[in-house]
Every structure is written in structure tokens, then in C-alpha cells.
Amino acid sequence: MLTVLLVLGAWEGAVSALGIRPIILPRPSQILWDVVARRGLLLQHLWPTLWQCLAGFLLAAGGGMALGMLITLSASARRAIYPHMVAFQMIPKVAVAPLFILWWGVGGTSRVMLAFFISFFPMVVNTAAGLAGADPDMVRMARAFTATRGQIFRKVQLPSALPFIFSGLKISSTLAVIGIVVAEFVSAQEGLGYLMIFSQGLMDTTTMLAAILVLSLLGLVLYGAICLLERLCVYWQEPA
């Protein structure tokens, strides 16, 4: 917190001392005042960004964990799916945004799908790595006690994978926010990304930075909620 205050203070002082115009770089106090003064407008555009971000993130979380489990438990599925998924991940995300609009229209569905597409891969990789990294001695001991494959998965592999899964959730949450903003840049009539583009056209740098601040707070709240859930679920691990 002290570092943030020092950076903001230096920013405020530098802009005032150098006489930088607000159209180039407004002071932090101006940005905060704009957030308060235009809170109605920001909240209006926050809602579509929020629900689309959550929808894309939840789809990526559920689908990524399911596919990660599949390619870990089935060698044939891993050979059939994983190489193609890695190759698909190499595609630039901005390049597929027009295709998503063509397939799903200009509404919220295309933006949700782009957020899902961007945040899906980390969930698959982290889930698979966590399940594959289970302690082999624990697995052998469970087999020695005649545990079934399902019991080994539930009692040994899944608890071992939870820290990896939550790491994937943290990464995917930030990528989902990025995906929504990219989609709103391409096609939207509402949302914080649209507000930023609209403000750019008006040369309103203060409102642009206010929208970025609200987006950052949205990402922090989502990230913090995942950290809290991690502390509740992975209770045996010391919090970082």
C-alpha cells in the first residue's frame, strides 16, 4: 500500500510540476474525481462487462477442469486432444474475434465465448499437471489397500491437484477480463471496453483511465474471491 501511495504521489506531483495537460495524462486525483462524478455511467457499463466476464470464466473453469481430468485419466484422450489444443492456443486471440462475431453474432454470446477461449487453456494445463503430480507413493499405498480408481482420484489425486487448480483459476480470472475487453473493443455498444473506445474518440483521457481503474478493481475482486475460496478448500496449505 505504501508503494502505491508513493507512486500515486509521484505521479500527481510530476504531472503538476511539468504542466502536462489532462488530455495527455491526467492527475490521479482527477481520475478518482471522475470515477465519483461519473459513477452512474461507469456502473451502467460495468454490469455487462461483469456478467459476461463471469460467464466466460465459469465456462472456462468447468470445461478446463473436465478436459484436464480427461487427458490425465485417459492416455488415448491425451494423445488425441492435447497436441491439437496446444496448436489451437497458438492462434492470436484478437485474430479470432471477428470469427466469433460471425459465428455467434454481435451480442453478448460472442464476447462470452472469446473470454472462454482466452481463459480455457490455463485451466486444462494446471488441472492436468496437478492430477499427474500426485504422490506416487500415496497412489501405490491406496492401491495396496484395494482402493478403486475412483477412490484414488477423489482421495489422493484431486486433493493433491487443488493448489494447481486454484492457480489456474487465478490466471484464468485475469485472462477472462482481458478477453471481455478485447471483445468489447471489436463489437459492443455497452461495457467498459466500449466506454474506453468511446472516450478515446472524444479524446477524454480521464474517463478512459477511470474505466481502466474500474476494470482493475473488477479483476482484483474476482482474484480475491478465488484466493478466499482457496483458503477454505485447501485448508491444509499455508497461505502465501
Domain ranges of the chain: 48-232
pLDDT at position 213: 92
CA 17 – CA 34 distance, rounded (Å)? 21
Tens of pLDDT, residues 93-112: 777 777 888 888 777 888 88
pLDDT at position 220: 92
pLDDT at position 85: 81
pLDDT at position 89: 78
pLDDT at position 165: 92
CA 167 – CA 128 distance, rounded (Å)? 12
pLDDT at position 190: 85
CA torsion sign, 200 to 205 to 206 to 208?
A: positive
Which CATH code of 3.40.50.300, 1.10.3720.10, 3.30.1490.120, 1.10.10.60 fits the domain covering 48-232?
Answer: 1.10.3720.10
pLDDT at position 225: 94
HEC assignment per residue over the chain: CHHHHHHHHHHHHHHHHHCCCCCCCCCHHHHHHHHHHCHHHHHHHHHHHHHHHHHHHHHHHHHHHHHHHHHHHCHHHHHHHHHHHHHHHCCCHHHHHHHHHHHHCCCHHHHHHHHHHHHHHHHHHHHHHHHHCCCHHHHHHHHHCCCCHHHHHHHHHHHHHHHHHHHHHHHHHHHHHHHHHHHHHHCCCCCHHHHHHHHHHCCCHHHHHHHHHHHHHHHHHHHHHHHHHHHHHCCCCCCC
Which residues of the chain, if any, have pLDDT below 50?
Answer: none
pLDDT at position 107: 79
